[in-house]
Amino acid sequence: MEKMLQRIASQLGAYDEASLLSLWDKYHREVRSFQPTQQWEESVLILCLLQSVRWKNQLFNSKWMEQRSADFEPERDEDTDGGGDEEPGPEGRNREGDGAPRGRVIAFPTEDRDSS
């Protein structure tokens, strides 16, 4: 089973994100309109795979930028850096208005939310 998963990951990695995500809207629509069928279940898995490619690329880019930033940051003197050991939060890493597409959380309705 692990080899099959590695093969799927390898095959997904061979495609560019734009090609895969051009299918995102189609599968999102299919998943939103629930039907207790195998086709619906497969659509859910396809949507998850598409999302995983997007997440992998965002994580890769984030880690790559962190590494590049660390490589180019000047050495700080411990006595002059303000003494804080805090790691900068995510707001320090994400620039607003940088034009990068932002992720979107999909909220699927539940019976509790539908009845209110």
Confirm whether 88 is domain-assigned.
no
Range of the domain at 29: 1-71
Indicate the pTM of the whole model. 0.56
- Lowest mean per-residue pLDDT among 18-27, 61-70, 102-111: 102-111
Confidence at residue 94, expressed as pLDDT on a 0 to 100 scale: 42
CA distance 18 to 48: 16
Query: Which two three-digit tokens encode residue 50?
Result: 């598409």
Say if 10 falls within a structural domain. yes
pLDDT at 45 over 70: yes
Whether 60 maps to a domain, the answer reads yes
Residue corresponding to tokens 């006595």: 79
Q: Specify if 34 maps to a domain.
A: yes
Q: Structurally, how many domains does the chain consist of? A: 1
Q: Is residue 76 part of a domain?
A: no
Does any domain span residue 23? yes
Cβ within 8 Å of residue 108, ≥6 positions away: 31, 32
Query: Whole-angstrom Cα distance, residue 106 to residue 89?
Result: 24
State residue 13's pLDDT score.
Answer: 87
Distance, in Å, from the CA atom of 62 to the CA atom of 25, rounded to the nearest integer, reads 25
pLDDT digits 0-9 by tens, 58-98: 888 888 888 888 777 666 555 555 454 444 444 333 444 45
**Do the domain assignments include residue 14?**
yes
- The 10s digit of each residue's pLDDT in 78-88 is 555 545 444 44
Indicate the burial class of 43 (C-beta count within 10 angstroms; 0-12, 13-18, 19 or more): buried
**Residue 56 lies inside a defined structural domain of this protein:** yes
